[in-house]
Structure 1
Amino acid sequence: MEWRCNNCRRKKRHFFKVLIGDFSDELRLPPDFTKHIQVKEESGNASLRVCGGRTWQVELRKVDNRLVFRKGWSNFVVGNGLRTGDFLVFKHDRVLHFIVRVFDASACEKRRLPAGDTCRNAEMSNVSMSEGSLDCSSFKHSRGRVTGPQQDAWNAACSFKTKNPCFRKYFTDKTMCCRSYYLNVPSAFVRQHLAFESCMLTLFDPEGRCYPVRYLNTSESGGIVGFSSGWRKFAVENHLREGDACVFEFIKEPIGFKVHIFRGDKDGTEGER
């Protein structure tokens, strides 16, 4: 893909984006900024570097005369813990290379997440309940040992029995419930049950309501695996909160998951809030 900056003196080197709506799969560049970059082909690979951090490779594609970050953008979103309301400033450093600064709702620049901390929700998983019990009494997360009703919620999730494969999630951060557009799936579970390409799945809540979600699998390129588009709608409408625990029970017809929700403010009781 051939690119050329139309503004040799780089008078317009910056643009900003406020993250609203569903930004998990793509991000559109401002039309006025796009005018300063000449595109001779439909797509190319761009580099996004966070100040003082790592660099992500993202597809920059021309769609309806707009430039859009597409393939690889989801990795950037999850890798930097982006949330609704975050404010991103992009500096066009050179052709197809951008330096990105991320600010949260407090108007302060976000700290760079260390490796392994890109998803701030604790998790445990199992392939089959018959393979053994989980030691829930020793479960901890980044804020310390889980106690009280929240411990009850996790214990209830651990005690849940099913013949189907399942994995569990404990939400330690309210932003993972009500503001995030993405939920990662444990890699061990993916390898044994979800080792197929990205597709649409269905989540069924405790009331039997169905929610289509996109299953995103970019593991072959070292990327992320989890639920993207559709996850936030499920989380909001089921009132997921910090301290809740969920069991995701895998079903094949229709392919998707029955989600059992255990409430952290109701002594681990399953069901509606």
Structure 2
Amino acid sequence: MQKQNPSFFKILIGDFASALRLPPLFVEIFGEKLSPTLSLVANAAAASEKKWAVKLKKSGEHSLFGDGWDVFVKDNDLAAGDFAVFWLMDNYSTFQVRLYDYTCCEKQLSSSRFSPAGGKSTNLDRNVRVKKGEETDESTKSVGTMKWCNNPSFVVSLPPRDKKMIIPKGFVEKMGIAGKRCIPLENAQGKRWEIKMRNQGDEFAIYGGEWEDFRKANRLGKGYLCSFELVRRYGDQFLQFHLEKKARGRPEGTKKKIN
């Protein structure tokens, strides 16, 4: 790919899944040369030379990627906040596309998502599981799995109330939050707690009085299965709490009623 190839970028926001509008100035300069049927070649599929056919359509004064764009979005697992750079190749019918997620790193998708050139693409579950940690103390055993849904998240079985809660090391490092001293934690009602976070050798944990307050306010006990979703929105960043499953017995901090 040569440096002089014309290009444009798009931040994927709003209703991008069914169509994507091209920048007006780009269309003004190159629109008459563009083929009505375009090929998109993404970084994730370069090894298999997978191409996506996308129709160029007009909507009023605007030109958009139309039919076929939704398949490209689905196959490349594009989400709101992702960043795409499009380079127009010399034949005016092909765009080389580089895709980045909100970590500012290039999206890495398994090559098994794509069949050999000319074949149909296949779908994979958006939830990506990684292996459990191999720590030994009770609070660390609470660490479950890490997954990707609309936002990256991890799942834990809560340790006893007087214990810290371990965050998967891979999650912290990949999300770029290893240097944080605290991180907001938000429940389903939108209430927030500023929770302390620390790095102790090979593990990351949240702890302290605010963590205790959070557990009490949300009536969370040992063994409760919870997920924490990292949300980035309008410059804000926080962990969104979801209760996946309650444990048997009473939440910690509650008393048994005596008849």
State if a TM-score over 0.5 links the two structures. Answer: no
The structure that has the greater radius of gyration is 2
Q: Which has the higher contact order (CA 8 A, sep 6+)?
A: 1
TM-score normalised according to structure 2 size: 0.45
